[in-house]
Structures are given as C-alpha cells and as structure tokens.
Amino acid sequence: MPDFRAFCVPGHREPAEIILSPEESHHLVNVNRARIGDTVVVFDGRGTEWISELTSDRKSGAVLKVRFQQKIKPLSYEVTLGQALPKGQSMDAIVRKATELGVARIVPLESERTQVHLDGERSDKKIEKWQTAALEAAKQCGNAFVPEIQTVQKATAFMESARGYDLKLIASLQPGAKSLKTILAAFHTAQGRAPKNVLWLVGPEGDFTAAEMNLSQSTGFEPITLGPLVLRCETAAVYAVSVLSYELQNPAASP
C-alpha cells in the first residue's frame, strides 16, 4: 500500500484531477511530507479510492493527477457500536480503535451512570471531533470506509428504537450473561448463516444500571460476558468489537 493517504469527496465520479482542501493539503504536505511525484491514495470514506500522483504541493490546495480509480469491497458484515459516553478523552480512543476494527457506525449514548452530558453546540463540536478522529484513524490503517458518528442519544430511547439488526448484544457483568460463541452458534443453528448486521452496546464506568439491563433484554438484546475481569469501558469496547469481528470473519471457528 502506498505511504500517503488523503481524504476528499470529488465533485464528480471519475475525476482526472483532485484538489485537496487546505486541511488535507497541510496534512499531506507539511505533516506527512509528501513531495511532487509521490503516489497518494485519495479516498472518499465510502469505499472509492483514486490512486493519484501529487503534481502540486500548494498548501492552500494540493493537486493530484488521478492514475486510476478502484472500488474497495466492504466487509461481509456490519457492526454498530453503541457506546455510553466515558469520562475524559476515552471516547476519542474508542472511536479510533473502532475505526481500525472496521465498525460501520458509532452511536454515542447517555446512560444513567454517564458522567458526561452533551447538548446543543457542545454536542455538535464533540461529534465533529470524533468524526475527525475516525477519519485520521482510517487514513492510518488504510480503511476505505469511515464510520458514521451518529448524534448523542439517550441509551434507553436507543434500546427501544433499535431495529433492523440480525443480533443485538450488550456487554454485561451480571450473572447469567452468555458467551459470544454461544449466541453466534444459536443464531447459526436457527438461521443457517452468520449474522450480517450486529449491534453491540457497551456501558460507561460502572456499567449500565440494572434497570437499563432489564430494558435491554426486554427489547431483544442478548447479555454477553467479556470474561471474569472488570474491564475499563474503553478496553471493553475494543475487546467486544475485536472478538465479534474475529468471529464474523471466521464463522467456522464458532461451535
């Protein structure tokens, strides 16, 4: 894979030339030190890439000559991460790691134990920041698909409205939570295939409350154990998406 990647949504589908935004130009030329003649992969975050050559290193708008276009095949499954907002900068790290793991979308949630509450302009700025973090992670790891960051929602309202998923999972510390392998095996037995569209909820510090867990189960979520130890929420999110992605990529590995 070429060393340089840049984000752009061209004005039409088959451009001969691409002009980057000032922000992308700065990142490509000043931060990554691309030089005229270097190969740059321009991607639109939706699976299209343009293999290009840098022909002008203008900081206000670097110019790239398109050599050829390619469509990247998406993953055979979609994972949506519903993440209760953690304290500090942890959400930034979760967004980056989830992007590296190929999630399709991330839904920030306010739960009963959430200590961070966002509304109005502050919420918009945070979502913009997380979208930027996702884009930066996509550049770094070569992901041609940038996950959608949805608006902040109440966890209970989201649980009640979440539809259209093959499986709805929730990380749980409560007794009786099942293993991911058990749930995937049961789905395969019932449906004759692996799930294609999975939602996984991960709680904040202190986990979801008992009332939220009860609501999740009444709305079709399966409580899943992440092992015997209590994980930090950012660790839980990465662990949950990682093991799910592995199982969906390797369905034969499930019993």
**CATH number reported for the structural domain that contains residue 223 in this entry:** 3.40.1280.10
Same domain, 194 and 249: yes
Same domain, 85 and 26: no
pLDDT of residue 7: 97
Residue 251 has which token pair? 């369905």
pLDDT of residue 87: 85
Instruction: Tell me how far CA of residue 113 lies from CA of 83, 207, 212, in angstroms.
Output: 13, 7, 10
Same domain, 50 and 96: no
Per DSSP, what are the bridge partners of residue 107? 82
Same domain, 154 and 104: yes
pLDDT of residue 12: 87
- Distance separating alpha carbons of residues 47 and 43, to the nearest angstrom: 7
Which residues are CB-neighbours of 246 under 8 A, at least 6 positions away? Answer: 253
Side by side, the strands of the sheet bearing 39-43 are 4-7, 39-43, 48-56, 63-71, 17-19
Same domain, 112 and 207: yes
Residue-range definition of the domain harbouring residue 34? 4-71
pLDDT of residue 152: 93
Same domain, 116 and 197: yes
Residue at which a domain ends, from 71, 95, 127: 71
Instruction: Tell me how far CA of residue 123 lies from CA of 88, 131, 141, 199, 228, in angstroms.
Output: 15, 12, 27, 23, 35
Same domain, 236 and 133: yes
pLDDT of residue 2: 56
Total structural domains within the chain: 2
pLDDT of residue 255: 45
Same domain, 140 and 204: yes
pLDDT tens string 74-89: 999 999 999 999 987 8
pLDDT of residue 205: 87
Same domain, 66 and 87: no
User: For each successive 10 residues of the chain (255 residues), what is the average pLDDT?
Assistant: 85 93 95 95 97 94 96 96 91 96 96 78 86 95 96 95 97 92 95 96 92 96 94 94 94 53
